[in-house]
């Protein structure tokens, strides 16, 4: 009787397992959640969390719940590589992130070993453009963004611009500067000073601005995160209060106005979404985000939510034999919060962008 009894026990165990919860779809997240410039990573993670919760309420992906495994890159290459390895070992389907080019340079090759796709909400450096690799990008390129800045500053009468840039995110900042230089000089403008610096808590931003002012510029441009731009703006207002200031899209988070206050008034900055959009889709997202996290979404939250929408939709349509990247490229276009998202064969896309100027603590659209 022992064999029939054992068989019945085994059968009962299998039936219970079959009736249990389905295996979750594991999704990785990689972003800067500690150290400096955590505003971008925190907001991005919140955008993904909201998407996960909404999809799970609707049944997940093909009936399987989504499980988010988040890792912090701490804006350090070695930490990003280690976190990427952990996500690969966790056998996630894909990773949403990272949010800066320096961290992508560390993470992409690590996750390539396990053939794990990264879908980045914000990467734009030309080093990742038109590459057949394990990376898909939701954002425009630095060529697009920096070219728009060059034209906008020239139209505003600036001909001699001085630029400060953070080398801690060198892959992005140097790519952005090179694309700006090409577009600005071709229009007849000139970059009269360049000040590279390594962002640290004790960076002497007064000295950085003094270097920019030596050759009598008619405008100042900062390629840096929100914390640094707020500090650079402070020194700019002290040393050259009448000079117009602008900052690359990297700094376009709420932290810029919170930290900069009146010192960033008049600053020109590009946004990769229209924060004043009143379409039903965006308003529903904005209100849900505000209710869940007690603050309005910023650019990284919007882009991360779009990245999650693309990934989850592709996985829900995926057929047997499709790799994750093949599914992402094959089953679009995808409806993002404010636009349709389509990818070329390399996983690159275009994105609408909107110039804003800070007025009375708000990002006001430039018409």
Tens-digit pLDDT profile for residues 285-298: 999 999 999 999 99
- The rounded distance, in Å, linking the Cα atoms of 36 and 249 is 17
- The rounded distance, in Å, linking the Cα atoms of 39 and 19 is 42
pTM: 0.91
Q: Do 204 and 307 belong together in one domain? A: no
Q: Tell me the three state secondary structure of residue 60.
A: coil
Q: Do 159 and 234 belong together in one domain? A: yes
Indicate the residue among 271, 288, 320 that finishes a domain. Answer: 271
**Does the structure show a pLDDT above 80 at 1?**
no
- Taking only the tens place, the pLDDT of each residue in 226-248 is 999 999 999 999 999 999 999 99
Instruction: Please check whether residue 255 is in contact with residue 39, taking contact to mean a CB–CB distance below 8 angstroms.
Output: yes
Supply the DSSP string of 245-282, one letter for each residue.
Answer: EEE-GGG-SHHHHHHHGGGGTT-EEEESS-TT---HHH
What is the residue whose two structure tokens read 């001699």? 160
- The rounded distance, in Å, linking the Cα atoms of 175 and 165 is 11
Q: Do 267 and 152 belong together in one domain? A: yes
Q: What average pLDDT score do residues 277-286 get?
A: 98
Question: What residue ranges in the chain does DSSP mark as E strands?
Answer: 25-31, 66-72, 94-96, 117-120, 135-137, 160-166, 190-197, 219-223, 245-247, 268-271, 334-335, 340-341, 354-359, 362-365
Q: Do 225 and 293 belong together in one domain? A: no
Q: What average pLDDT score do residues 319-334 get?
A: 96
Q: Is residue 19 part of a domain?
A: no
Q: What is the CATH number of the domain that holds 194?
A: 3.40.50.2300
Q: Is residue 38 part of a domain?
A: yes
Task: State the number of CA atoms in the 13 A half-sphere of 133 facing the CB.
Answer: 21
Determine the pLDDT at residue 16. Answer: 43
Question: What residue ranges in 107-203 does DSSP mark as E strands?
Answer: 117-120, 135-137, 160-166, 190-197
Mean predicted lDDT score pLDDT of the chain: 94
Structure tokens at 182: 């090409």
- The rounded distance, in Å, linking the Cα atoms of 187 and 55 is 47
Structural domain count of the chain: 2
- The rounded distance, in Å, linking the Cα atoms of 236 and 128 is 33
Q: Do 296 and 236 belong together in one domain? A: no
- Taking only the tens place, the pLDDT of each residue in 249-263 is 999 988 999 999 999
Q: Do 38 and 126 belong together in one domain? A: yes
Q: Do 158 and 231 belong together in one domain? A: yes
Instruction: Give the domain range for residue 207.
Output: 143-271
Phi, psi (degrees; rounded to nearest 5) at 298: -105, -170
Instruction: Please check whether residue 25 is in contact with residue 60, taking contact to mean a CB–CB distance below 8 angstroms.
Output: yes
Phi, psi (degrees; rounded to nearest 5) at 62: 50, 40
Q: Do 34 and 180 belong together in one domain? A: no
When pLDDT is cut at 50, 70 and 90, the band that residue 19 belongs to is: low
Q: Is residue 301 part of a domain?
A: yes
Q: Is residue 68 part of a domain?
A: yes
Q: Is residue 365 part of a domain?
A: no
Q: Is residue 237 part of a domain?
A: yes
What is the residue whose two structure tokens read 């080398």? 167
- Taking only the tens place, the pLDDT of each residue in 149-189 is 999 999 999 999 999 999 999 999 999 999 999 999 999 99
Determine the pLDDT at residue 39. Answer: 87
Supply the DSSP string of 18-60, one letter for each residue.
Answer: HHSPPPPEEEEEEE--SSS-HHHHHHHHHHHHHHHHHHHHTT-
Q: What average pLDDT score do residues 95-119 get?
A: 96
Residues in the chain, how many? 367
Percent of the chain with pLDDT over 70: 94
- Taking only the tens place, the pLDDT of each residue in 34-84 is 977 788 999 999 999 999 999 999 999 999 999 999 999 999 999 999 999
**Does the structure show a pLDDT above 90 at 7?**
no
Q: Do 136 and 154 belong together in one domain? A: no
């Amino acid at each position: 009787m022992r064999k029939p009894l054992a068989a019945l026990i085994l059968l009962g165990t299998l039936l219970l397992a079959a009736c249990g919860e389905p295996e979750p779809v594991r999704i990785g997240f990689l972003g800067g959640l500690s150290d400096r410039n955590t505003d971008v990573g925190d907001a991005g993670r919140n955008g993904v969390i909201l998407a996960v919760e909404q999809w799970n309420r609707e049944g997940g992906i093909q009936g399987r719940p989504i499980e988010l495994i988040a890792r912090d890159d701490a804006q350090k290459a070695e930490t990003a590589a280690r976190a990427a390895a952990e996500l690969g070992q966790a056998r996630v389907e894909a990773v949403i992130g990272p949010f800066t080019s320096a961290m992508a340079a560390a993470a992409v090759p690590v996750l390539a070993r396990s053939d794990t796709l990264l879908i980045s909400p914000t990467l734009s450096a030309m080093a990742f453009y038109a590459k057949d690799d394990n990376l898909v990008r939701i954002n425009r390129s630095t060529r697009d963004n920096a070219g728009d800045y060059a034209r906008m500053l020239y139209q505003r009468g600036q001909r001699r611009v001085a630029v400060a840039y953070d080398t801690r995110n060198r892959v992005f900042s140097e790519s952005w500067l090179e694309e700006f230089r090409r577009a600005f000089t071709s229009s007849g403008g000139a970059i009269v000073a360049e000040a590279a610096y390594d962002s640290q808590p004790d960076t002497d931003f007064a000295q950085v601005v003094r270097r920019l002012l030596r050759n009598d510029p008619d405008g100042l441009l900062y390629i840096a995160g929100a914390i640094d731009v707020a500090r650079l703006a402070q020194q700019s207002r002290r040393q050259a209060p009448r000079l117009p200031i602008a900052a690359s899209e990297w700094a376009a988070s709420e932290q810029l106005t919170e930290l900069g206050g009146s010192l960033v008034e008049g600053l020109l900055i590009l946004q990769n979404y229209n924060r004043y959009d009143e379409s039903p889709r965006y308003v529903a997202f904005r209100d849900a985000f505000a209710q869940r996290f007690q603050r309005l979404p910023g650019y990284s939250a919007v882009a991360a939510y779009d990245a999650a929408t693309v990934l989850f939709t592709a996985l829900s349509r995926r057929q047997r034999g499709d790799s994750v990247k093949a599914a992402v490229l094959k089953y679009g276009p995808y409806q993002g919060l404010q636009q349709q998202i389509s990818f070329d064969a390399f996983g690159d896309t275009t994105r609408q962008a909107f110039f804003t100027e800070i007025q009375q603590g708000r990002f006001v659209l430039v018409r």
